[in-house]
Amino acid sequence: MISIENSILKNLITNEDYTRKVLPFIKDDYFEDSNQKVVFQECRDFITKYDSRISYEALSIEVQNRTDLTESDYTDISQLIDRLRCDDEDQQMNWLLDTTEKWCRDRAIYLALMDSIYIADGKDSKRDRGAIPTILQEALAVSFDNHIGHDYLQDYEARYESYHRKEDRIPFDLEHFNKITKGGLPNKTLNIALAGTGVGKSLFMCHMASSILLNGRNVLYITMEMAEEKIAERIDANLLDVNIQDIVDIPQNIFERKVNKLVSKTQGNLIIKEYPTASAHVGHFRALLNELALKKSFRPDIIFIDYLNICASSRYSKMGNVNSYSYIKAIAEELRGLAVEANVPIVSATQTTRSGYSSSDVDITDTSESFGLPATADLMFALISTEELEGLGQIMVKQLKNRYNDPTVYKRFVVGIDRAKMRLYDCDQSEGGSLIDAGEEITSSLNEGTKSKFAGLKFS
């Protein structure tokens, strides 16, 4: 009776279609029998080198040429090759693929459990127990991905369906943000707010986190600029409808009643996690997601990172010989990769340059430290504050990059801002002046009155 391991080895030698589909997913550690492991290694190395499956004769020669085998090992492996050669039973391809995939997953889980026990016993000098969730997660995720791309001419029906399929998005509670994003932020995206110091980067993210929590979603807010309690205080001001400076004066029983009322309004949860400035990277964030899933059964629907420029890169050292362009671009790429991996939108922020802070019309090139950031982001917009807008209780938003919609439509618009309650709200666009886009494409030619009115603006 032939084993699944022998069936795999036989088909790696005789079945090219099978080999192409399964070889990338099989590891030599999956084979318990050392003789089977040697045969697999020779099959894999031959296919990798010559892009063709190995013959029985070539396999025997390659095994004979190995210098790490004893005479007894060689005899046993030769007998194994003879058994594979003599077995002429053909298996149904779909069954064979499914069985091989299940075998790979079972072996991966078994090895991961053994590895985890080894780490838990303190026998691994390079890894601690914090690595165990990732090891188990990777083993559970083992599967064959047989998708080899979209066939433009043959897959038109699936493509047409995708055009009409409603994409899962995280909606805003602000009308114009929903308009420019076609209903909210899609999963697997990186979204960036550009603003100067004190303009409202954290306020924007705290308001958005508050509104999404009220909408029944799970929110993870990672801060590297302010303490967890300070972020929570801003969200308290927003959700409890209290001026931020008055929160400390609220009696405990009233504060508790307000929080309990909030709990009854939402099915979501909000976790705020603080890291030291410039010390945490996506590796830390990934470990946090694993811990939250294991300890709290918490999986976020959206992640806020306050803010991108004071994250660390998992690929580069800040003290190494790397320029700011490459370093910040690496952080942006890593965060976008985390968004894809976790299947959530990530929202973060960045500072303007010194010239951008004093510019009368900030542009995408006014991004501080690295133009690689806007190159990576899916949505990027500037938050603009002026004395005139502050007097109106407003903040201006200017689209800089938009992969969801035409960035020239609603290129500029205003939203109301209540800094005391850390809150944004929809407001009358006519108050923002003639620079506000009414929903039509904006041309570069502005009338002299508009130029004069906004000549003193400071875009941040």
What value does the CA radius of gyration of the chain take, rounded to a whole number of Å?
A: 29
**According to CATH, what is the number of the domain 169-453?**
3.40.50.300
Strand ranges across the sheet with 302-306: 270-274, 219-223, 302-306, 345-351, 189-195, 379-384, 394-402, 412-418, 423-425
* Average pLDDT value for residue range 254-279: 91
Q: Among positive and negative, which fits the CA dihedral 317, 321, 325, 326?
A: negative
Could you say which DSSP state residue 139 is in? H
Of 4-13, 29-38, 83-92, 240-249, the range with the lowest mean pLDDT is 83-92
Q: Extract the tokens encoding 65.
A: 């040429």
| Residue recorded with tokens 């013959």 | 55
Token pair in block for residue 369:
């430290």
**pLDDT value at residue 174:** 93
State how far the Cα of 177 lies from the Cα of 397, in Å rounded to an integer: 9
Six-digit token pair at 102? 């299940």
pLDDT beyond 60 at 90: yes
CATH of domain 4-140: 1.10.860.10
Where residue 450 falls among pLDDT bands split at 50, 70, 90? very low
Which residue pairs, CB below 8 angstroms and at least 24 apart, start in 111-120?
Answer: 111/29, 111/30, 111/139, 112/136, 112/138, 112/139
φ and ψ at 301, to 5 degrees? -95, -20
* Dist. CA 401–CA 413, nearest whole Å: 15
pLDDT of residue 355: 56
Cβ-proximal residues to 32 (8 Å cutoff; 6+ apart), any chain:
none
Question: To the nearest whole percent, how much of the chain has pLDDT over 70?
Answer: 87
User: Is it the case that residue 4 has pLDDT exceeding 80?
Assistant: yes
- The pLDDT of residue 88: 67
Tell me the average pLDDT across 303-324. 82
Pair type for strands 219-223 and 270-274: parallel
Calpha distance 105→30 (Å, rounded):
9
Which one of 111-120, 143-152, 428-437 scores highest in mean pLDDT?
111-120
Confidence tier at 200 by pLDDT (50, 70, 90): confident
Amino acid at 76: D
Query: How many other C-beta atoms can be found within 10 angstroms of the C-beta atom of residue 445?
Result: 7
pTM of the model: 0.68
Residue-wise pLDDT tens digits, 331-369: 999 999 999 999 999 999 988 766 555 554 566 766 666
Residue 367 burial by CB count (10 A; 0-12/13-18/19+): exposed, middle or buried?
A: buried
Cβ(194)–Cβ(367) below 8 Å: yes
- Tokens linked to 431: 């108050």
Task: Give the pLDDT confidence score for residue 458 in this predicted structure.
Answer: 45
What residue ranges do the domains of the chain occupy?
Answer: 4-140, 169-453
